C-alpha cells in the first residue's frame, strides 16, 4: 500500500535536505518514488474498526476510484494480493466470514451475496493443494 508522509517526515526518513518552506523539490520526489504496478486482489473498505465492504479486482486502484466516484466512503483500505484464479474463492471466504454491511443481500432472505455460496466455497477449498479446507457451516 502507498504510505503518505508529510514532507518533514519524508526528509527525515530518506535523509533529504531541508528546502525553504514545506515544498519538496522535483529531485527529492523522484528520489523516493516507488514503481507502480496494478495490484490484483481482494480489498477491504474499513471505517472505524469495522470492515464495511469486501470486493475484488484485477486492478484494485482502478476499482477503488470507481467506488469513490459512486459515493462509497471509507477511512482505510487493506488489500490481499492474490492470483486472478483465486479471487472468487478468497473474496467469498471473507464475505461469508465477516458479513460486511455494504455488500449485497438477497431480496427476501437477506442472505449475503458472494461469488461463491458457502457450500461451493467449502468444496473448492478442499480441492486446493497445500491448504487447510475452510470450515463448512452446513451439516
- Residue 55: give its domain's CATH number: 3.40.1440.10
Residues 72 and 117 placed together within one structural domain of the fold = yes
Residues 45 and 32 placed together within one structural domain of the fold = no
> Residue 61 corresponds to which cell in the numbers above?
486502484
Residues 90 and 113 placed together within one structural domain of the fold = yes
- Domain total in the chain: 2
Measured CA distances, 102 to 22, 46, 51, 53, 65 (Å): 39, 11, 9, 5, 17
Residues 32 and 53 placed together within one structural domain of the fold = no
Residues 87 and 123 placed together within one structural domain of the fold = yes
Measured CA distances, 112 to 44, 78, 103 (Å): 16, 21, 7
> Residue 40 corresponds to which cell in the numbers above?
490484483
Edge-to-edge strand list for the sheet holding 41-47: 50-57, 41-47, 76-81
Which pLDDT tens digit goes with each residue over 127-137? 766 655 555 44
- Would you say residue 121 lies in a domain? yes
In contact, 46 and 73? CB cutoff 8 Å = no
Tell whether the model's pLDDT for residue 5 goes beyond 90.
no
Which pLDDT tens digit goes with each residue over 20-75? 566 777 887 888 788 888 999 999 999 999 999 999 999 999 999 999 999 999 99
- Cα separation of 38 and 36, whole Å? 7
Residues 121 and 64 placed together within one structural domain of the fold = yes
Percent residues over pLDDT 90 in the chain: 51
> Residue 79 corresponds to which cell in the numbers above?
488489500
- Would you say residue 76 lies in a domain? yes
When the pLDDT of each residue in the chain is averaged and rounded to a whole number, the result is 83
Question: For residue 93, what are the domain limits?
Answer: 41-127
Amino acid at each position: 500500500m502507498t504510505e503518505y508522509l508529510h514532507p518533514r517526515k519524508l526528509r527525515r526518513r530518506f535523509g533529504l535536505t531541508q528546502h525553504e518552506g514545506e515544498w519538496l523539490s522535483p529531485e527529492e520526489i523522484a528520489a523516493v518514488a516507488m514503481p507502480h504496478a496494478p495490484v490484483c486482489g481482494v480489498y477491504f473498505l474499513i471505517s472505524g474498526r469495522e470492515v464495511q465492504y469486501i470486493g475484488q479486482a484485477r486492478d484494485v486502484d482502478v476499482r477503488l476510484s470507481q467506488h469513490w466516484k459512486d459515493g462509497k466512503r471509507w477511512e482505510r483500505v487493506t488489500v490481499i494480493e492474490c492470483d486472478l484464479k483465486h479471487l472468487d474463492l478468497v473474496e467469498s471466504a471473507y464475505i461469508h466470514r465477516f458479513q460486511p454491511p455494504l455488500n449485497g443481500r438477497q431480496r427476501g432472505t437477506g442472505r449475503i451475496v458472494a461469488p461463491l455460496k458457502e457450500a461451493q466455497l467449502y468444496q473448492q477449498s478442499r480441492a486446493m493443494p497445500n491448504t487447510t479446507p475452510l470450515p463448512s457451516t452446513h451439516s
